[in-house]
Amino acid sequence: MSADSFTVVGKPVVRQDGREKVTGAARFADDLRFPGMLSAVMVRIPAAHALIRSVDYSAINNDPALAAICDASDVPAAKTVGIVRKDQPVFCDKKVVTPGDVIAMLLGESEEELLRLRDQVRIEYELLPVLTDYCNALAPNEPLIHPEFGSNLIVHYPLRKGNVEQGFAESDHLLEQTYTTQRVEHAYIEPECVIAIPREGRKEIQIIGSIQNPFTARRIVADVLGWPLTHVRIQQAELGGSFGGKDDIMCLLSARASIAALKTGRPVKIRYRREESILESYKRHPYTMHYKAGFMQTGKLKAMKIDIIADGGAYASMSPFTTWRTVVQATGPYEIEHVWTDVRAVYSNNPYTGAMRGFGSPQPIFAQESLMDEIAVQLGMTPDEIRRINGFRAGSITASGQELAQHDVNLVTVLDTAVGQTAFAERWQENEQHIKPTWTPSCSLDNKDFIEPDQLLQKGIGLATSFRGCSLGAEGTDAAAAYLSLRPDGSASLLCGLAENGQGLRTTYCIIAAEILGIPVDSIEYLDFDTAYIADSGPTVASRSTLMGGGAVKNAAEIVRTQLEGTLRKRWNLATDRSFVFSSGLVALVDDPAKYISFLDLCALAHSTGVNLSAIGWYRGPRVHWDESVGQGPAYFTYVYGCQVAEVTVNIGTGEVHLDHITAVHDPGTIINLLGAQGQVYGGVTQGAGYALWEEITAPNGKIKELNFDEYLIPTSLDLGTITPLFVSGKETYGPWGAKSLGEPTLELTAAAIANAVRNAVGKRFFNLPLNLEEILLQRKLRPEDPNANQ
């Protein structure tokens, strides 16, 4: 099917849940109440690293407000959980390794009373040395966070291609830089909430919650309870944002709620306030990245050596997967002969880090795109030129030795589109040539430090490009299921095994089924997610829902359509080679459009003749593979490409950066819902801008300072100018009609583009995100806890 023959695919379709969400009618987990339901309150200690000596509940044990206490002694089976490494206790009883850790949970009818009781639990503990400098985590004398693993190393990924030293020797120039990125919070609008309801005889548990990945939660709860998966049933409530953040934490809360519900025989709700949400939930990894590049006078990159250390914080969580994506993509979308990369994730007593939109890519993109710009400036080239010289093209070989084939390698296309659209090169050069006033911020300003008023605001333009492997890649099994059932009246019900995360996948899936069956999108009812009704399709992560789930939905719709075609062939006595068009609620013969039947009549006919109009669709990604010892192999089965151009105004008196315009050019394959795709760009760019300029979770001594949105600053609508999304299309074998990924690509390169634009505006380069006021003006962060703050 070609693009212009689509009926709904690619059109702007208003999402199914949009109205309810903006009118407040949508029901989130915390809107649900059940008879006899108990509240829960967590008991913690304000320590980042401590041995628990004793826990004394005697002061509250007989209080009528207390229904029960749950702690480690109540955990029936697995005491520790984790998606990769099982290092995170459901309740801590020996040690606390981060202040978010929970020692016990109090249950009762009144949250307020429980908060009062919480202060009366007496916990004795012994403070241990706290490790916060994660770059030092592997040094011999540092404390071990989880001594049972023998080291603070969570994972190490090497990648070796060619001979990097030889590459450096042959290079005309070398450039070496170190970059750092900060820890950030997902900032989903709805904090965590989950309800566990014991079923008859306490032999089954029903869980309803704001859960990103219901199948992961099912597995973890079953492990903790020591039950088979069938006895754990997870239903997803309307979810108020996730961005990768409602995975581990929601599994853990589901497990705690289940334990309490089974202990008390009553429904138990856990809901977090914002402070508690930020305190306990995981964050995006801070990275420290050392890059060394060797390149020729012509601009051609010859060799790159990269050493990255990622702060995994207190628990391993997704670090092994996040940093794997980093090692695959660390050199950026450039062909380089000799590459030597090491990526390590380590433990520390900092807040733990895991999945967040971008997943190991925003950090290296900031580094590698800053480096590319610096090389361009050094060689007297424009940023787009250097990228055109090195960028991937059809048949290029990646750092892991994969040949880019079987899809349109659109890197140069997105670059040229973005550059053309914004008159990038001319404007970049014009700004470069402009002489920028400088001043030295000090306690007493010299005459020359005062900026002429008409020089206060400086304009800059910058770009960044990226490539991104779609879906899970060699991280794991990649398959998804969808269930579609046609009713006698021509309407349908649909459910996919990938859970809605607020990105609008329900609407996307309905569009896909509607296109295949030629019926209106709103005649398809999307069913509520329940692990009891649909096959495990892996997690909603890695921008894989449209690609994998969409593939499954398309397959299900095609199966049903084939059934309908069979019915019609029989009825009309047609040979098997006669084919049909399904469109506008009619089914007609391709070569004789005058011969048609209404979709409704055909459904009724099929129904009355006992034809099966229900199907489970399935979609499996092709095999990919990875050699861990050298970091070589076809990591992902396909890739997407993006280029963003940021235009900024910098107030050089204050360090304020205003984003005037971001042009985001992406190649997501075929677009299913135009409105959804544009929404991804608006949201992703905004989140990427937050990463560039404002957002940062600091944790002096392991304790988070920014526990609410008064201190954790995310961009508001006044902080961003125009965002222009542009889509480039290309041929793709995989996904429904070649639809690939967009969610994460939109966010991952924004910060890099902004940093490059700021450099263009002020003439200084920045190596440490976020580019907040102090960073811009002083090229360092200022923090109250910093011992040198006063110098």
Contact residues for other proteins, defined by CB under 8 A: 111-112, 115, 439, 441-445, 447, 449-451, 453-454, 456-457, 651, 653-656, 658, 694, 710, 713, 715-719, 772-774, 777-778, 782-784, 786, 789-791
Least Å distance between CB 752 and other proteins?
20
Nearest residue (CB) to other proteins, 560 versus 777:
777
The string of DSSP letters for 171-183 reads: -SEEEEEEEEE--
Q: Which amino acid is at 719?
A: D
Q: Which is nearer to other proteins, 166 or 649 (CB)?
A: 649
**CA 203 → CA 263, 265, 400, 500, distances in Å?**
12, 11, 49, 28
Q: Shortest gap between Cβ of 446 and other proteins (angstroms)?
A: 9
Helix, strand, coil % over all residues of the chain, rounded to 5: 30, 25, 40
Q: What is the DSSP letter of 519?
A: -
List Cα–Cα distances, 344 to 308, 327, 340, 469, in angstroms.
Answer: 6, 9, 13, 20
328 Cβ contact list (under 8 Å, min separation 6): 159, 398, 399, 400, 469, 473, 631, 635, 636
CB of 719 to other proteins, least distance (A): 5
432-443 as b/e: b if 16+ CB within 10 A: beeebbeeeeee
- Shortest reach from residue 786's CB to other proteins, in Å: 7
Given a contact cutoff of 8 angstroms between Cβ atoms, the answer to whether 649 and 510 are in contact is: no
CB 202 within 8 A of CB 262: yes
Question: Minimum distance from CB of 721 to other proteins (Å)?
Answer: 11
Q: Which tokens sit at 309?
A: 């250390």
- Amino acid 626 reads W
Q: At 538, is the secondary structure helix, strand, or coil?
A: coil
User: Cα–Cα distance between 415 and 384 in angstroms, integer?
Assistant: 7
How long is the chain?
A: 791
Q: How far is the CB of 706 from other proteins (least distance, A)?
A: 12
Closest distance of CB 779 from other proteins, Å = 11
- Residue 751 CB, shortest distance to other proteins, in Å, is 16
Q: How far is the CB of 457 from other proteins (least distance, A)?
A: 7
CB of 750 vs other proteins, minimal distance in Å? 16
Cα dist from 593 to 573, 580, 597, 646, whole Å: 16, 9, 10, 50
Maximum Cα interatomic distance, the chain, rounded to a whole number of Å: 94
Distance CA 190, CA 154 (A): 31
- Using N-to-C axis directions, what is the helix angle for 424-433 and 411-422, rounded to 10°? 60
Q: How far apart are CA 726 and CA 418, in angstroms?
A: 8
Nearer CB in complex with other proteins: 235/772: 772
- In whole angstroms, how close is the CB of 107 to other proteins at the nearest point? 18
CB closer to other proteins, 443 vs 590 = 443
Question: What is the rounded radius of gyration, in angstroms, for the C-alpha atoms of the chain?
Answer: 28
* Cβ atoms within 10 Å of 177's Cβ, excluding its own: 15
> Per DSSP, which regions of 470-613 are E strands?
479-486, 492-496, 524-526, 580-583, 586-589, 592-598
Instruction: Between 282 and 712, name the residue whose CB sits nearer to other proteins.
Output: 712
Closest to other proteins by CB, 547 or 707: 707
CB nearer to other proteins: pick between 41 and 367: 41
| DSSP-assigned letter for residue 497 | S
Residues 662, 781: contact at Cβ < 8 Å?
Answer: no
Of 6 and 439, which CB lies nearer to other proteins in the complex structure? 439
For residue 788, the minimal CB distance to other proteins (Å) is 10
CB–CB of 770/702 below 8 Å? no
Q: Please identify, using beta-carbon distances, which residue of 400 and 772 lies nearer to other proteins.
A: 772
Report, in Å, the least distance between residue 78 CB and other proteins.
Answer: 34
When the beta carbons of 169 and 789 are compared against other proteins, the nearer one is: 789
Query: What is the closest distance, in whole angstroms, from the C-beta atom of residue 780 to other proteins in the complex?
Result: 9
Give the shortest CB-686-to-other proteins separation in angstroms. 12
Cis peptide bond prior to 140, omega within 30° of 0: no
Specify the DSSP element, H or E, that contains 389. Answer: helix 383-390
Q: How far is the CB of 48 from other proteins (least distance, A)?
A: 22
Q: Which is nearer to other proteins, 640 or 758 (CB)?
A: 758
Cβ proximity to other proteins: between 24 and 380 the closer is: 24
Structure tokens, 379: 């060689």
Q: How far apart are CA 260 and CA 111, in angstroms?
A: 15
| Residue 316: both structure tokens together | 């391993």
Task: Please tell me the distance from the alpha carbon of residue 336 to that of residue 301, in angstroms, as a whole number.
Answer: 6
Residue type, 45: I
By beta-carbon proximity to other proteins, the closer residue of 244 and 683 is 683
Nearer to other proteins, 4 or 452 (CB): 452
Per-residue 3-state assignment (H helix, E strand, C coil) for 138-168 = CCCCCCCCCHHHCCCEEEEEEEEECCHHHHH
| 8 Å CB contact between 384 and 295 | no
Closest approach of Cβ 728 to other proteins, in Å? 32
- State the nearest-atom distance from the C-beta of 756 to other proteins, in Å: 21
- Within a 13 Å sphere around the CA of 575, how many CA atoms are in the beta-carbon half? 3
Write the CB contacts of 543 (distance below 8 Å, at least 6 apart in sequence): 468, 470, 471, 741, 742, 743, 744, 745
Q: Which residues share a beta bridge with 614?
A: 485
Smaller CB distance to other proteins: residue 116 or 393?
116
**Angle at 426 (CA atoms; ends 424, 427), nearest 5 degrees:** 65
In this structure, what token pair is assigned to residue 369? 């795109």
Q: Which is nearer to other proteins, 278 or 560 (CB)?
A: 278
**Distance of alpha carbon 581 from alpha carbon 564, whole angstroms:** 12
Measuring CA to CA, which residue among 638, 614, 625 is closest to residue 561? 614
